[in-house]
Structure 1
Amino acid sequence: MSKTAEPQTRSLSSRQRCPQASGLECLAPLVRSAEETPDPIPTTIEGTIPPWINGSFLRNGPGKFEFGTDRYTHWFDGMAMMHRFHIREGNVTYSSRFLRSDSFVENSEKNRIVVSEFGTLAMPDPCKNIFARFLSRFQTPKPTDNANVNFVKYKGDYYVSTETKYMRRVNPQSLETKEKVDWSQYIAVNSASAHPHYDRDGSTYNMGNSYSRSGFFYNIIRVPPPEEKAAMEDSADLSGANVICSIPAADPRKPSYFHSFVMSENYIVFVEQPIKIDLLKFMLYKIQGKSFSKVMTWEPQHATIFHLVNRHTGKKSEVKYYTGPMFTLHQINAFEDSEFLVMDMCCGGDGELIGEFTLENLRRNSGEEIDEFYNSLCRNLPRRYVLPLSVDEQTPADENLVTLHNCKATARMTKPGEVYMTHEELHNDELLQFGGLEFPQINYHQFNGRPYRYFYSCGFGHVFSDSLLKMDVHTKELKAWRYPGLYPSEPVFVASPKATEEDDGVVLSVIITPREEKSTFLLVLDAKTFSELGRAEVPVNIPYGTHGVFNEMG
């Protein structure tokens, strides 16, 4: 079942369908180390910041790329820098801090890189003798706690997270670093994703890996809501966390990489894609002098498998849902409609791009150098897959099982217990002019796991996002905010307190530019019209980041 059994529905890849770029500008200023601003500073307001917005826009991402003479190799390796735009009564203040992770502290004390990251292997201590340095090659590298990917929430507490077994609890007001949390002290996992899902009952779901002599498993984790007494204590609390389902890898020697997963009101879907992690290379990578990014390979000879799990019972479906090789980082939304599970996600046909985001590539010169790199990258586009939930021995073979109105996605039973799916494209050709999209966000609080109409994302007409997009999944039309030389962060939707419609609210994004020093601003768009309401200008340089959240309790 791991081999691709069906032809692709399109002869052209998403990269080939998007226009080739020419004359792109250099983005090096967006991936250089920044200085922290621990004490809140005022911003200059242009336009109007709606007075009903009351909270903090929290952002995470790499912010320091060297220690002493040592330089990181990959963008993912930079030390975590947390940013806070506090919004109240139409005014905005800004502050930032580096996460005081063990990695940051140890690197700072030694003034060199002593903890390995995704794309950078820490070299042996030059003060050791030759024999000691040789032996250090055979020591198992410890996972980093450089949590530079996202802000997440468990039992009411905020944490910053990456994709190892470590998180760091943080204070969302002061950005103070608190205790390190080790997932393996609560449940049997070796790592966890930085993209959990939140249930309306207060519980949180996530995915984590585990490997042992019995094989490699993808584990669905549930963390229960906080207890009233525990909520009063100022300490990390993941008590009650449990694994509700363990999914064995299709190839235990080469499990798949994943960044997120799908959740609806009753189901979780794990997408096992053909980006493979070679475990033998992983165990030997330090001896070979290779970073973790070198043990990941794109293997399009394999299919993509969708593992369907009832998140209330933990029971995995016996049906094998699969499609051709594809690459996905971020899910948009999923919901149930009649006897079907509808899944929307950002997908591409080439999974080799993760290892290519080296700082050397990102800092290429304007023109031909950066054009060549950008034109080689995969472009992700929004897709819809539909899983038929009622598949049994009576299901007809080689017949489209998707009967939803106006739905172009298909699902066919190719043999008993196996269903091959093709997707519907959730866009028209206009999106191609924006280079595809990523970093999708919805009105999560009201519409996650439910039928929805709109999502917000970044367009990628450059290596980093150069536009903001509002997508209508009903009409496939889009609205855009795009200006030359301005590079927006992942958009975050904040609902109006008197909202009556799905898009009643604002979209927040941090805008940076390589063209002028200290010209960052927080952008506030009307989510319905996608027109600018106001901006809060702050005289700091902020590197291009990853993910963020809006903390209404800020």
Structure 2
Amino acid sequence: MALLHQFKIEKGTVMYRSKFLQSDTYKANSVHDRIVVSEFGTLALPDPCKNIFERFMSKFELPGKFAAMTDNTNVNYVQYKGDYYLSTETNFMNKVDIETLEKKEKVDWSKFIAVNGATAHPHYDPDGTAYNMGNSFGSHGMTRNYIIFIEQPVKMNLWKIITSKIRGKAFSDGISWEPQYNTRFHVVDKHTGQLLPGMYYSKPFVTFHQINAFEDQGCVVIDLCCQDDGRNLEVYQLQNLRKAGKGLDQAYNSVARSFPRRFVLPLHVSLNAPEGENLSPLSYSSASAVKQADGKIWCSYENLHPKDLEEEGGVEFPQINYGQFSGKKYRFFYGCGFRHLVGDSLIKVDVVNKTLTVWREESFYPSEPIFVPVPGTNEEDGGVILSVVITPNQNERNFLLVLDAKNFEELGRAEVPVQMPYGFHGTFVTI
């Protein structure tokens, strides 16, 4: 269930507040003291208020509109027209009071636009315009003029999803990794909505989070955290997370590592462009885009990291100085290193010089880093990094960590005398 956290920093003091999102799903589960609304990886238990026949017939309810769809929006905070919402990958959002964390209203995307859901990771223009998409695609990047959809060989088996209750399986059982297909990039003109004719392909990979994208010399440059195996969702199941010792090591070793990669997509490729030659004019990147005989453009990536990152277990949850450098050429991003199934370090990556700076404390697990710029500065890394750090050690306290974004030196921490779970995404808001 979605548990909201808030650290309020004011006049040298920090106040912590947490609250379960009062979603319809949370209320139903609380009343019955069990999971009665299915989640992505959790199959609902039969409603104890139903008789035997009703329980049997409930197995034949279809998901979505024909059954209760979860409104447990537990992935990300998003902002639309100055209001804050909690989102996930379904058709629901929950509007919240950003100060009190109280739920204000539930919003159903499908009543406004023809989608069955939307991603939990919108992009924003400097004027406040938000861009999102129906979640037939899992992720996208954005530059000043283009949106990049990434079609990955992760498929949804509708038959498995529809029959999930009958088979006693969660929705996640209907997701499959099919590496016999390549990954494709679709580039759309943001102003006209028209798909560009270029057919950009690469070897199969999976990406959950994009780092940044920008335009340069007639190309779109897109940087992603990539994995070469799309079966990681199978590993992050509760029975694996509860393992210890060799069992936990075995689960971790089966996870594909996530590494930052750059792809270059030439936008205006003529019919007479030579085959077999690199069409990228960017001298600073080893990423290539080669036209093939069938007209497709085969894209090979550039690694944006040194070998040191392999020792850190790769990187995920990338963040940049979004307000000043989203959609622009940039140098730094921040993320979590994964020497364990959950992130155990904070990492600053210099994508120009390909160097790392790492913060770590043994047996502590930091959340996604949030970059907060120093007011008035033009320096890309002029700011601080905020991260919520937790530990299973009962003798230690969880805390909000503040790092200098330039050198990763600790500026301070605010300890919290309560236990809290590991989280995914957060946001910084000035009130």
Q: Does 1:495 align with 2:421?
A: no
Take 1:453 and 1:163, find their aligned partners in 2: how far apart are those partners?
30
Take 1:536 and 1:416, find their aligned partners in 2: how far apart are those partners?
58
Q: Which residue of 2 aligns with 1:86?
A: 8
Q: Does 1:464 align with 2:386?
A: no
Q: Which residue of 2 aligns with 1:167?
A: 93
Take 1:262 and 1:288, find their aligned partners in 2: how far apart are those partners?
36
Structure 1 counterpart SS, 2:166: coil
Q: State whether residues 102 and 145 of structure 1, in contact with CA within 8 Å, keep that contact through their aligned partners in structure 2.
A: yes
Q: Which residue of 2 aligns with 1:123?
A: 45
Take 1:171 and 1:395, find their aligned partners in 2: how far apart are those partners?
54
Q: State whether residues 169 and 179 of structure 1, in contact with CA within 8 Å, keep that contact through their aligned partners in structure 2.
A: yes
Q: Which residue of 2 aligns with 1:350?
A: 229
Take 1:481 and 1:386, find their aligned partners in 2: how far apart are those partners?
31
Q: Please tell me the residue identity of whatever aligns with 1:351.
A: G
Q: Which residue of 2 aligns with 1:111?
A: 33
Q: 2:62 aligns with which of 140, 145, 148?
A: 140
Q: State whether residues 464 and 487 of structure 1, in contact with CA within 8 Å, keep that contact through their aligned partners in structure 2.
A: yes
Q: Please tell me the residue identity of whatever aligns with 1:140.
A: L
Q: Which residue of 2 aligns with 1:509?
A: 387
What's the C-alpha RMSD, in Å, of the aligned pairs?
1.2
Take 1:517 and 1:125, find their aligned partners in 2: how far apart are those partners?
40
Q: How far off its partner does 1:354 sit?
A: 1.2
For these two proteins, the number of residue pairs brought into alignment is 427
Deviation readout 1:362-392 (Å, 9 max, x if unpaired): 1112x21211111111100000000001112
Q: For residues 472-491 of structure 1, what are the structure 2 equivalents within 5 Å?
A: 472-491=350-369
Deviation readout 1:473-496 (Å, 9 max, x if unpaired): 100001110121111000000000
Q: 1:194 aligns with which of 120, 127, 130?
A: 120
Q: For residues 238-387 of structure 1, what are the structure 2 equivalents within 5 Å?
A: 258=138, 260-365=139-244, 367-387=245-265
Q: State whether residues 392 and 417 of structure 1, in contact with CA within 8 Å, keep that contact through their aligned partners in structure 2.
A: no
Q: State whether residues 62 and 163 of structure 2, in contact with CA within 8 Å, keep that contact through their aligned partners in structure 1.
A: no
Q: State whether residues 80 and 148 of structure 1, in contact with CA within 8 Å, keep that contact through their aligned partners in structure 2.
A: yes
Take 1:88 and 1:128, find their aligned partners in 2: how far apart are those partners?
50
Q: 1:184 aligns with which of 90, 110, 126?
A: 110
Deviation readout 1:92-123 (Å, 9 max, x if unpaired): 11101000000000111122211011111113
- Percent identity, aligned pairs only, is 55
Stretches of structure 2 lacking an aligned partner (at least 5 in a row): none
Q: Please tell me the residue identity of whatever aligns with 1:95.
A: R
Q: Does 1:440 align with 2:314?
A: no
Deviation readout 1:279-306 (Å, 9 max, x if unpaired): 1211222222211110011111000010
Q: Please tell me the residue identity of whatever aligns with 2:3.
A: M
Q: Which residue of 2 aligns with 1:234?
A: none
Q: 1:537 aligns with which of 392, 415, 423?
A: 415
Q: How far off its partner does 1:517 sit?
A: 5.0
Which is worse superposed, 155-164 or 122-131?
122-131
Q: Please tell me the residue identity of whatever aligns with 1:411.
A: A
Which is worse superposed, 152-161 or 350-359?
350-359
Q: State whether residues 504 and 527 of structure 1, in contact with CA within 8 Å, keep that contact through their aligned partners in structure 2.
A: yes
Q: Does 1:420 align with 2:298?
A: yes
Take 1:279 and 1:477, find their aligned partners in 2: how far apart are those partners?
44
Q: State whether residues 363 and 392 of structure 2, in contact with CA within 8 Å, keep that contact through their aligned partners in structure 1.
A: yes
Give TM-score, length-normalised by structure 2: 0.97
Take 2:4 and 2:49, find their aligned partners in 1: how far apart are those partners?
33
Q: Which residue of 2 aligns with 1:521?
A: 399
Q: Please tell me the residue identity of whatever aligns with 1:263.
A: M
Structure 1 counterpart SS, 2:260: strand
Take 1:127 and 1:550, find their aligned partners in 2: how far apart are those partners?
43
Q: Please tell me the residue identity of whatever aligns with 1:469.
A: I
Q: State whether residues 358 and 408 of structure 2, in contact with CA within 8 Å, keep that contact through their aligned partners in structure 1.
A: yes
Q: Which runs of 4+ in 1 moved over 3 A?
A: none
Take 1:535 and 1:486, find their aligned partners in 2: how far apart are those partners?
13
Deviation readout 1:185-223 (Å, 9 max, x if unpaired): 1000001000000111211000114xxxxxxxx4xxxxx
Q: Please tell me the residue identity of whatever aligns with 2:112.
A: Y
